Amino acid sequence: MLRVLVLLTTLIFACSIQVGAATAANIAVLMPGSRGIVPGDFLVRNEARIKGAGIRTILTTSSATAAETVAAEAAQGHKVVIVGMSRGTVDAAVALAAGARPAGVVFVSGIYSLVMATLGTPDKLPATLVIHHSRDGCKLTLPSGATEFVTWARGKARLQWINTDGEPSSNPCNAQGAHGFFRQDGAAVSAAIAFIRSR
């Protein structure tokens, strides 16, 4: 009888570890900017760093794929965070507006006027991290837009400013200048990873 009790206790303990591991699984759906899945994109160039933090990644430019991934993984007890960069923030908002319910969302250098127009209401937002360079010169992603979005989100979003220095880019909307953190990605990536793991 004692052997059976010990065996059952061990089995229950092993199962609870597996269930806990499944619940804590971190998955990030990465939605890059307007040029798509190209090496220079902030999310593409940092995918390996995100994976190195123990987070499984799925790269896509499709809002439908993002929404389907969130639903499929949630059905298995996995937590998913959608991470959008620049134009990818709008793609992420389309997924949310279509009913995706991730554990969180990270907006990086976002086009917040379009994000707000797409969502219509902050009620569709999960917990949200906004990562933005304080000197982003792209006319679509000015720092004032990040501040306006966080106010609009009514407590659902927090803002992480990045203040790296570097050479200005001839195209202020590409991933080389302040819009892309002057390719000094450490602080932005660390903030994203910490948020994903906290969900």
Q: What is the pLDDT of residues 120-139, one digit of tens each?
A: 999 999 999 999 999 999 99
User: Which token pair is 92?
Assistant: 């992420």
- Evaluate whether 71 touches 27 at the Cβ level (below 8 Å): no
Count of C-beta atoms within a 10 Å radius of residue 79: 19
pLDDT score of 169: 87
| Residue ranges of domains in the chain, CATH in brackets | 26-198 (3.40.50.1820)
Quickly state the pLDDT bin for 195 (edges 50, 70, 90). very high
Are the CB atoms for 75 and 97 separated by under 8 Å? no
Residue written as tokens 């990030």? Answer: 28
pLDDT tens, residue by residue, 57-98: 999 999 999 999 999 999 999 999 999 999 999 999 999 999
SS3 state at 132: strand
DSSP-based three-state secondary structure for 27 = strand
- For CA atoms 134, 88, 45, 191, the dihedral sign is positive
Average pLDDT of 26-54? 96
Nearest CA among 123, 121, 64 for reference residue 91: 64
| Whole-number average pLDDT of the chain | 90
pTM score, whole prediction: 0.87
84 vs 8: CA distance, rounded Å: 45
- Please check whether residue 30 is in contact with residue 192, taking contact to mean a CB–CB distance below 8 angstroms: no
pLDDT, average across residues 96-110: 98
